[in-house]
Protein backbone atom coordinates (compact mmCIF):
# COMPACT_ATOMS: atom_id res chain seq x y z
CA UNK A 1 0.00 0.00 0.00
CA UNK A 2 1.52 3.29 -1.04
CA UNK A 3 -0.87 5.55 0.87
CA UNK A 4 -0.54 5.97 4.58
CA UNK A 5 -3.31 5.06 6.98
CA UNK A 6 -5.13 8.12 8.31
CA UNK A 7 -5.53 7.95 12.09
CA UNK A 8 -7.51 10.69 13.78
CA UNK A 9 -7.23 11.00 17.54
CA UNK A 10 -9.79 12.85 19.67
CA UNK A 11 -8.68 13.56 23.24
CA UNK A 12 -8.94 16.84 25.12
CA UNK A 13 -5.80 16.28 27.23
CA UNK A 14 -2.51 17.40 25.61
CA UNK A 15 -0.54 14.89 27.72
CA UNK A 16 -2.67 12.04 26.36
CA UNK A 17 -2.23 13.25 22.79
CA UNK A 18 1.56 13.35 23.28
CA UNK A 19 1.57 9.81 24.73
CA UNK A 20 -0.56 8.57 21.81
CA UNK A 21 1.66 10.28 19.26
CA UNK A 22 4.79 8.68 20.75
CA UNK A 23 3.08 5.27 20.60
CA UNK A 24 3.11 5.39 16.80
CA UNK A 25 6.86 6.05 16.42
CA UNK A 26 7.69 2.58 15.05
CA UNK A 27 5.04 2.77 12.31
CA UNK A 28 5.41 6.46 11.50
CA UNK A 29 6.07 5.72 7.82
CA UNK A 30 2.75 3.85 7.61
CA UNK A 31 0.45 6.32 9.32
CA UNK A 32 -0.54 9.94 9.27
CA UNK A 33 -1.80 11.15 12.62
CA UNK A 34 -4.24 13.98 13.02
CA UNK A 35 -4.68 15.07 16.62
CA UNK A 36 -7.82 16.85 17.82
CA UNK A 37 -7.88 18.39 21.27
CA UNK A 38 -11.27 19.94 20.54
CA UNK A 39 -14.10 17.53 19.65
CA UNK A 40 -15.92 20.37 17.88
CA UNK A 41 -13.00 20.80 15.48
CA UNK A 42 -12.96 17.04 14.88
CA UNK A 43 -16.69 17.00 14.08
CA UNK A 44 -16.45 20.04 11.79
CA UNK A 45 -13.47 18.53 9.95
CA UNK A 46 -15.21 15.19 9.46
CA UNK A 47 -18.43 16.82 8.26
CA UNK A 48 -16.53 19.08 5.85
CA UNK A 49 -14.38 16.25 4.48
CA UNK A 50 -17.42 14.01 3.97
CA UNK A 51 -19.10 16.75 1.93
CA UNK A 52 -15.97 17.34 -0.15
CA UNK A 53 -15.14 13.66 -0.61
CA UNK A 54 -11.73 14.43 0.90
CA UNK A 55 -9.42 11.89 2.51
CA UNK A 56 -11.23 10.42 5.49
CA UNK A 57 -9.76 8.65 8.49
CA UNK A 58 -9.15 4.93 8.43
CA UNK A 59 -9.18 4.86 12.23
CA UNK A 60 -10.55 7.18 14.91
CA UNK A 61 -9.27 6.86 18.47
CA UNK A 62 -12.07 8.36 20.54
CA UNK A 63 -11.80 9.29 24.19
CA UNK A 64 -14.97 9.44 26.27
CA UNK A 65 -14.54 12.46 28.53
CA UNK A 66 -14.20 15.40 26.17
CA UNK A 67 -14.52 19.05 27.06
CA UNK A 68 -17.58 19.90 24.98
CA UNK A 69 -19.42 16.58 24.82
CA UNK A 70 -19.02 12.97 25.80
CA UNK A 71 -17.57 10.42 23.41
CA UNK A 72 -20.87 8.62 22.87
CA UNK A 73 -22.46 11.91 21.78
CA UNK A 74 -19.62 12.52 19.32
CA UNK A 75 -19.88 8.95 18.06
CA UNK A 76 -23.62 9.32 17.49
CA UNK A 77 -22.94 12.41 15.36
CA UNK A 78 -20.14 10.66 13.47
CA UNK A 79 -22.43 7.76 12.57
CA UNK A 80 -25.21 10.18 11.56
CA UNK A 81 -22.77 12.01 9.27
CA UNK A 82 -21.71 8.76 7.61
CA UNK A 83 -25.34 7.75 7.09
CA UNK A 84 -26.26 11.18 5.70
CA UNK A 85 -23.35 10.95 3.25
CA UNK A 86 -24.42 7.39 2.32
CA UNK A 87 -20.95 6.12 3.22
CA UNK A 88 -20.87 2.30 3.19
CA UNK A 89 -19.75 0.76 6.48
CA UNK A 90 -16.67 -0.71 4.82
CA UNK A 91 -15.50 2.84 3.97
CA UNK A 92 -16.20 4.32 7.40
CA UNK A 93 -13.43 4.79 9.91
CA UNK A 94 -12.79 2.01 12.37
CA UNK A 95 -13.79 3.70 15.62
CA UNK A 96 -11.76 2.63 18.63
CA UNK A 97 -13.00 3.48 22.11
CA UNK A 98 -9.89 4.76 23.87
CA UNK A 99 -10.59 5.63 27.47
CA UNK A 100 -8.88 5.00 30.78
CA UNK A 101 -12.29 4.12 32.24
CA UNK A 102 -13.55 0.64 31.25
CA UNK A 103 -17.21 1.64 31.76
CA UNK A 104 -16.75 4.61 29.42
CA UNK A 105 -15.24 2.36 26.76
CA UNK A 106 -18.11 -0.10 27.24
CA UNK A 107 -20.61 2.71 26.64
CA UNK A 108 -18.81 3.72 23.44
CA UNK A 109 -19.04 0.10 22.28
CA UNK A 110 -22.78 0.12 22.95
CA UNK A 111 -23.09 3.27 20.83
CA UNK A 112 -21.28 1.73 17.87
CA UNK A 113 -17.50 1.81 18.37
CA UNK A 114 -15.87 -1.16 16.65
CA UNK A 115 -13.65 -2.17 19.58
CA UNK A 116 -11.82 -0.68 22.53
CA UNK A 117 -8.21 -0.34 23.58
CA UNK A 118 -7.35 0.68 27.13
CA UNK A 119 -5.60 3.97 27.80
CA UNK A 120 -3.19 4.05 30.72
CA UNK A 121 -2.41 7.64 31.62
CA UNK A 122 0.96 8.87 32.79
CA UNK A 123 3.15 6.51 30.76
CA UNK A 124 5.43 7.64 27.93
CA UNK A 125 3.66 5.38 25.41
CA UNK A 126 0.66 3.06 25.21
CA UNK A 127 1.43 -0.66 25.13
CA UNK A 128 -2.04 -1.35 23.70
CA UNK A 129 -1.50 1.04 20.79
CA UNK A 130 2.05 -0.18 20.14
CA UNK A 131 0.84 -3.79 20.07
CA UNK A 132 -2.20 -3.20 17.85
CA UNK A 133 -0.60 -0.72 15.45
CA UNK A 134 2.66 -2.66 15.14
CA UNK A 135 2.93 -3.32 11.41
CA UNK A 136 1.41 -2.90 7.98
CA UNK A 137 -0.17 -6.33 8.36
CA UNK A 138 -1.78 -5.35 11.66
CA UNK A 139 -3.12 -2.08 10.23
CA UNK A 140 -4.58 -3.78 7.16
CA UNK A 141 -6.12 -6.56 9.24
CA UNK A 142 -7.72 -4.18 11.75
CA UNK A 143 -9.06 -2.00 8.93
CA UNK A 144 -10.61 -4.99 7.18
CA UNK A 145 -11.82 -6.94 10.23
CA UNK A 146 -12.78 -3.90 12.36
CA UNK A 147 -11.33 -5.71 15.38
CA UNK A 148 -8.28 -5.43 17.59
CA UNK A 149 -5.15 -7.02 16.12
CA UNK A 150 -4.74 -10.71 16.78
CA UNK A 151 -1.14 -11.61 16.05
CA UNK A 152 -1.92 -15.13 14.86
CA UNK A 153 -4.82 -13.99 12.66
CA UNK A 154 -2.81 -14.32 9.44
Q: Give the pLDDT score at 53.
A: 77
Q: Give the pLDDT score at 125.
A: 96
pTM: predicted TM-score of the whole model, two decimal places: 0.94
What region, left, alpha or beta, does residue 53 occupy, with left being phi > 0 and alpha being psi -120 to 50 degrees?
Answer: left
Average pLDDT rounded to a whole number, residues 122-126: 94
Q: Give the pLDDT score at 146.
A: 96
Does the pLDDT at position 2 exceed 80? no
Asked: is 5-153 a CATH 3.40.50.2300 domain? The reply is yes
Amino acid sequence: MSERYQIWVVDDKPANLLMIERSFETVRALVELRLFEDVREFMATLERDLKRSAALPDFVLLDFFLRWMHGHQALTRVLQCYRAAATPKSQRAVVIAHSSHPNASALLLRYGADFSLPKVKGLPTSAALEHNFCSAAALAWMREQRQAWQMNAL
